[in-house]
Amino acid sequence: MWRWLAKRQPAARQVQLNQKILFIFPTGFGFSTLALTVLFYILGTNYQNNLILLLAFFLLALLLVCIGLSYLNLSGLILSTDKEQAGFVGESLDIPFQLDSIHKRLAVMAGFVDQPCILLTEPRSTLSLQLSHRGFFSTPRIKLSSDYPFGLIRTWCYVSLAQNYWAYPAPKRSLAPNIGNHGELTGDLAWHHLSSYLPGDPIKNIDWKKLARQPLQPVVKQYRPEAVDIDFWLELNDGPLEAELSRLCAEVLACEARQQSYGVRLPSLYLAPAHGPLHQQQVLEALALC
């Protein structure tokens, strides 16, 4: 069935719910109301009581009108993807997506297939996903369903958004002592940037040259620990792959916290040492795909 759905609605960045992808079927309550209608018809016919027949016709007409109303509640809703998310194996990741014109619609429930549903009320909503394997995945299909207005007819659809997410290996510091080169921090502090003087800053940090030019706006030099030139390389050592990847992930996070450059020498990727969010992302992605 998923193959048929995939042909009918391929993954897209933005999906508008229309007649092609929405399914409509009466709920259990709808069927019991239909049974009630038949019962009323029989009762009304036997008693020759037109008012009970009227009630039967009322319920029948209600069921038919509900089909239309239920469809209109979901039709036209536009689901679009948000930016890519990333998380670590073992955590749950919140995948956001955007909805258009959700305010006019009522009681729309959404959730990944076979996962608990949430009620949609805001234009931006998130659904959480439990990450169990590392890698680069696309989100499963989202099931949007609604029982509005009287709970008699249910409209639902399976939307596949072209939304991907990264699952990085779980960071786990290994207990074995670290093999591989570390960089030792020297005690030197290096100049980093300038900022306005705030009362309390040490006087000796003031940039005197600038002060001469702008007496009323003192500027202070800020320092930070010097990044060591020693290259810190991440490599796969012998051992179980997953454990190694976990260890490397932990190292990456630790280096990034220390603002230390680190390079990567992996079978799939060779990166010169650097640091920063972009570099971290590249490295983690490479680790995820290893």
Partner 1 sequence: MLAALNDSRFVTALHWRIWLCQVALLLLLTPAFTFWSQAIFALLLLAKLDQIYFNRPVWSLGRSNLLAAMVMAVLLIMSKQLGVIHLMFHFLLLASLLRLLSIRSDDLADYRQLLWVHYFLIASCFIVHQNLAIALCILTLLALQLQIQYFLFAGKISPIRWRKIAIVAIVFVPLFTGFFVFFPRLPPLWQLPGAKAAQTGLADDMSPGSIEQLVASDQLAFRVTFEDKRPKQSELYWRAKIYTEFDGKTWRSERPSRQTTPPIANGNWGYTVIVEPHQQRVLFSLGQTKVLQGPVRLTAHDLVRSLQDVTQRLSYQLTSTDTPLPDQSEKLAYLLLPLGNPQSRELGNELKKLPTTQLIVEALAARFRTNDYKYTLSPGTLSGDEIDQFIFQTKAGFCSHYAGATVFLLRAAGVPARVIGGYLGGNWQDEQNYLQVRQRDAHAWVEYFADGYWYRFDPTAVVAPDRLENGLDGVLADSELSLLQQTWVRNNNFTQLIISKLDDLDFYWSKWVIAFNDQQQNSLLQELKASWQQLSIMQIARILLITLAVGLILMMVRWWMQREKAEKPVQLFRKLQRLVDKAPNESYQQFLSRVALTYPNCADLCQQLSASYGAWVFGNDEVAGKQSWRLMRQLVKVVNKQQQLTG
Q: Whose Cβ is closer to partner 1: residue 45's or residue 237's? A: 45
Q: Whose Cβ is closer to partner 1: residue 49's or residue 138's? A: 49
Give dist(CA 43, CA 50) in Å, integer.
10
Q: Whose Cβ is closer to partner 1: residue 64's or residue 176's? A: 64
Most distant CA pair in the chain: distance in Å? 106
Question: How big is the site for partner 1, counted in residues (CB under 8 A)?
Answer: 37
Residue 104 engages partner 1 in binding (rule: CB under 8 A)? no
Cα–Cα nearest to 289, from 170, 166, 171: 166
Q: Whose Cβ is closer to partner 1: residue 149's or residue 225's? A: 149
Interface with partner 1 (CB under 8 A), residue from 8, 13, 68, 214? 68
Lay out the site mask for partner 1 across 24-63 (x = CB under 8 A, - = otherwise).
-----x--xx--x---x-xx-xxxxxxxxxxx-xxxxxx-
Residue 69 engages partner 1 in binding (rule: CB under 8 A)? yes
Give dist(CA 156, CA 146) in Å, integer.
6
Which helix or strand (DSSP H or E) is residue 135 part of?
A: strand 135-138
What is the dihedral angle through the alpha carbons of 102, 127, 289, 269, rounded to the nearest 10 degrees?
A: 60
Give dist(CA 164, CA 144) in Å, integer.
19
- Fill in the amino acid letter for 85: Q
Question: Contact positions toward partner 1, by CB under 8 A?
Answer: 29, 32-33, 36, 40, 42-43, 45-55, 57-62, 64-65, 68-69, 106-107, 109, 119, 147-151
